Structure 1
Amino acid sequence: MTRTFKLLGPQAVDNDYVNSQQLHPKTKKFTDHSKVVSTEILRERHGNATTKLMVLKYKATETEQLKEMLKAKYHQVHERLAACNAKQTCALCEEGWKSLGLKCYYFSTDKLNWTQGRDLCVEKGGHLVIITNQPEQEFVASQIGETHWIGLNDLETEGQWMWVNNHPLNERDVTFWYRSPQGISEPDTWKQEDPAGENCVALGHEEGITNKWFDASCHKLKQFICEK
């Protein structure tokens, strides 16, 4: 059998093409929102992980610094103990300093403001005393007959008391603030003498109490206690 083919004109071809496109339309491109969301989540997690790593790195640096400080302190004490054994004496502290355990304390005779006292303690290789327990409080209080600066202040943020080593005084820490029977207790940030308030802490008061903490104007001249 002979097959007959019909020749189609250009219009017929175009119509067939159009019909074909209608039956089989081009595939539309859709944005894959799941991939976008996943990317955002990954970015957020990467940012959080980076922040955590930075915090851990900072803490590691602080720990390393503390380790080096303790190591230096250990060697210092070891050398002094060796010197004691050689001389058969046990004076761990330099002349003019008094000892309690492995710490040495300097009780000044000069009167300076709080900042000057802090700086002089640093020059002597120590810092204004940081009192963290009852035995230490009782020891330093027993050595003084009048008010002395200690290393506590809220100069940076009012009401946030910080030691000179940048450690905050927390509610759970041992404190020795003066508590008045009349209800007026320390710290009271009294501003009648100094408009800036009372941002530095002294052991003792001008009125004679020497075993409690009092906030006072940092500009006042007082004796001070160094520790190392």
Structure 2
Amino acid sequence: MELEDMPLEKKRDGDGEGTSKLVVEAKAEGKQTEGNARLYLTGCLFFTLISLVLMLAVIVLSVKSQTGSKDCPGTGDDGRCWNIFPKIQAQKLDCHQCGDGWLLFENTCFYLSTVRLNWSMSQKNCTAGKGDLAVISSQSVQTFLTGKAKSFFWIGLKHDANQWRWVDNSALGVRYWEDNLSNGDCGLLRGDGPPLKNWMRASCNSKAYFICEKQHTSLLTILWTTFFMYIKFCRIYGGDKKDDAKENLSSQLSVELEGERGKQTEGNARLYRAGCLFLTLICLVLVLAVIFLSVKLQTGSKDCPGSGEAGAGRTSTSLTATCNFDQCQTDFPDIQHQKLHCNQCGDGWLPFEKSCYFLSTMRSTWLMSMIECTTRGGRLAVISSQSVQTFLSGKRIGLFWIGLERPGSQWRWVDNRALGDSYWDDNLSEGDCGLLRGDGPPQKNWMRAPCAHSAYFICEKQA
């Protein structure tokens, strides 16, 4: 019986040798995969340091670019002229963080319209500007908007299905209704009322000004968000898991454990490799941001009045107490609003006096033209002086809507001012909206037309 058992023992010895060989091969593959994982981990750490350095450079350049653009000190005679006539000092205007016409408050941008629409059209107008009608989420926002608004403004509050809700579908919480409530399904904010009791109900078809809001997302916010997303990624997938297998397990179980360990290490290597690729993209974006901000900072410094090319080739003029504004503009023609680093008008806008004007290249109705101007941060042009009338008349040939309408028996501007000086054509047509004919004489080139006709339009906003 003992002799018969001997082949079985030899077979078991052969199986043990095969299993040991598998263990050795599994260990060798595991070491190679583990080496790759360590290499990718080292790369991740390297790119992390590079990203931090580049992010710091972007922050410094961003701050320097913003603060540097607010104050361009004059030098020489230019500086003396600017000191004598501070009204031409446009260099101290703040750069717009939200966009032209928008107000920044608590990481949110607000826009108070200069035209009146019904509630639905007001919401569509805000949506066209990548926002919504304002949602008043705190007393500080309520107080801020009350101090800015001086009339009746639509807010993003509507009565639907027996419940008042905001446009973001949140239920109405804290409320600031007036004591004497009127009927209606849409909410108004009365700017001249007390901050804690100035909400009104009104019919949604009524016309009123409106307040839009949108979230303010700066470059620094995007960078910080990306950085914290990466930190979260590292915390979840960055650690190596240790094997708690005991040494007294059988050889077959050891092979399985080595295989599992190899798969786990291979999985970590893939995660590290993905992390390296992600960090590489972040580094490239940050490098482009550094290059962009550096170029912007260098080119912007050339536009400071009284320095660089602006002062080259100019003969020095001694200024006396008799120097006046016109003489300063004649002696120093390079002092122009549009040459400032912080462009308060924007591309496509024409600066004149204290306003910016935009002449459209597409035609639309009077109402749609007014909405388009609002989305650009302005309104249809209000011609308040003969100089503005002359300036706009000589810019382009065509028929242009201006901010003049006849809602009743009197002509009024879109800012609710009554019509003063007028420049009507001798042959007046019928209609309740005003047009400016660009190829007509400046003193007589206004026309009347039906508001549903299509024409070009002129927008205006404050510089």
TM-score between the two structures when normalised by the length of structure 1 = 0.52
Which residue matches 1:60? none
Q: Gaps (5+ residues) in structure 1?
A: 1-78, 180-184, 191-197
Partners in 2 of 1:91 and 1:214 — Cα distance? 32
3-state SS, counterpart of residue 98 of structure 2: coil
1:143 has 2:136 as partner: no
Matched, 1:166 2:172: no
Once the two structures are superposed, what CA deviation does each residue of 1:29-85 show, in whole Å capped at 9, x if it has no partner?
xxxxxxxxxxxxxxxxxxxxxxxxxxxxxxxxxxxxxxxxxxxxxxxxxx9997554
Q: How many Å separate the matches in 2 of 1:96 and 1:217?
A: 27
Change (3 A) 1:108 1:132: same
Which protein, 1 or 2, shows the higher relative CO under an 8 Å CA cutoff with sep ≥ 6?
Answer: 1
1:104 aligns with 2:109: yes
The aligned runs of 1:129-140 (5 Å cut-off) are: 129-140=134-145
With over 3 angstroms needed to count, the CA separation of the structure-2 counterparts of 1:153 and 1:92, relative to structure 1, is same
The 5 A counterparts of 1:51-70 are none
Amino acid at match of 2:199: W
Query: Percent of aligned positions with the same letter in both sequences?
Result: 32
State the Cα distance separating 1:101 from its structure 2 match.
1.9
CA RMSD of aligned residues (A): 2.5
Matched letter for residue 106 of structure 2: G
> Could you list the per-position Cα deviations for residues 166-195 of structure 1 after superposition, in whole angstroms to 9, with x for gaps in the alignment?
1111xxx2211112xxxxx43x5x2xxxxx
Corresponding residue to 1:200 among 186, 208, 214: 186
Q: CA deviation at 1:210?
A: 6.6
How many Å apart are 1:86 and its aligned residue?
Answer: 2.6
User: 1:141 Cα shift?
Assistant: 0.7
Distance 2:151 2:174 in 1: 22
2:210 matched to which residue of 1? Answer: 224
> 1:226/1:82 Cα in 2 relative to 1: closer, same or farther (>3 Å)?
farther
Q: TM-score, normalised by structure 2?
A: 0.26
After the TM superposition, which of the residue ranges 90-99 and 128-137 deviates more from structure 2? 90-99
Q: Report the CA distance shift for 1:220/1:92 in structure 2 as closer, same or farther (over 3 A).
A: same
Question: For 2:115 and 2:203, how far apart are their aligned partners in 1?
Answer: 18
1:118 maps to a residue whose letter is: Q
1:153 and 2:153 are equivalent in the alignment: no
Take 1:127 and 1:103, find their aligned partners in 2: how far apart are those partners? 12
Deviation of residue 144 (structure 1)?
Answer: 1.1
Structure-2 residue corresponding to 1:87: 66
> For residue 178 of structure 2, what is the amino acid of its counterpart?
Y
Alpha-carbon distance in structure 2 between the residues aligned to 1:199 and 1:82: 49
Separation in structure 2 between the aligned mates of residue 210 and residue 140 of structure 1, nearest angstrom = 12
For 1:98 and 1:80, the matched residues in 2 are separated by: 23
Give SS of 1:161's match: strand
Equivalents in 2 of 1:177, 1:80: separation in Å? 44
